[in-house]
Amino acid sequence: MAEKREKLYEGKAKIVYATDEPDVIVHYFKDSATAFDGKKKGEITGKGSVNAQVSAVLFKLLEEAGIKTHFRSLQGANELVTDRLEMVPLEVIGRNIAAGSLAKRLGYEEGQALKKAIVEFYYKDDVLGDPVVNEDHIAELAVATPDEVSRLREIALKVNEILSRFFDLLGLSLVDFKLEFGRKAGELVLADEISPDTCRLWDKATGERLDKDRFRRDLGRVEDAYQEILARVKGAAV
């Protein structure tokens, strides 16, 4: 069991703690929820536990498929023990179905399947509102090398392939998802979380949204949706 020590960082959804081991940290997942760059705030009862447990299952799944992640163990219901990384200030977004900002930008109806998976990059900067960036912007900002950008795209597409297949077996469509990465010994490592907070997941039979959009759009049954994802994911992991 990792011994939590000083708080290193507190974000919208998690608190990160140092431990008694310098290369190991603990992520505590909170029930607090935000949307629209923090303009909307609330609480989703049990969200932290759901996101930690779902992330643990999905990180294990990806590790078994050969994708290096920061995951070490699930500690209690709300905490992940992970490697300490030098984080890359980019969000890598994979998209299979038009929804949210992509639907608006392309003028598509939400729910329209894309011809092939799209990978986008966003620069993580709260002041700037996490703007979408391309390879030239990333080079200008010097936050990742061209080879790293190519590798991020490659990993994102591989993650999409694995998770799309996994969720399909659970009766879910992986609409889109957000990934974050860090560096360890010069290698890119998948980090952060993979959960209903960071993925759009729609029931294949009914089209019901079972993710954070229920909070963003005041659709109700938010806690039920999160618990439904946890139940399906844990059922598949047994």
Chosen domain end from 64, 83, 102: 83
**CATH number of the domain that residue 92 is part of:** 3.30.470.20
**CATH number of the domain that residue 69 is part of:** 3.30.200.20
Q: Which of 200, 189, 238 is nearest to 68 (CA)?
A: 189
**What confidence score (pLDDT) does residue 2 get?**
82
**What confidence score (pLDDT) does residue 238 get?**
57
pLDDT < 70 stretches in the chain? 237-238
Domain of residue 75 covers 4-83
Same-domain check for residues 50 and 90: no
**What confidence score (pLDDT) does residue 178 get?**
98
Same-domain check for residues 105 and 171: yes
Same-domain check for residues 156 and 91: yes
Task: Give the 3-state secondary structure of residue 61.
Answer: helix
**What confidence score (pLDDT) does residue 236 get?**
83
User: How far apart are alpha carbons 25 and 81 in whole angstroms?
Assistant: 6
Same-domain check for residues 52 and 111: no
What's the pTM value of the predicted model, to 2 decimals? 0.95
User: How far apart are alpha carbons 46 and 53 in whole angstroms?
Assistant: 11
What are the Cα distances from residue 161, in Å, to 51, 60, 95, 127?
Answer: 21, 15, 11, 33
**What confidence score (pLDDT) does residue 237 get?**
64
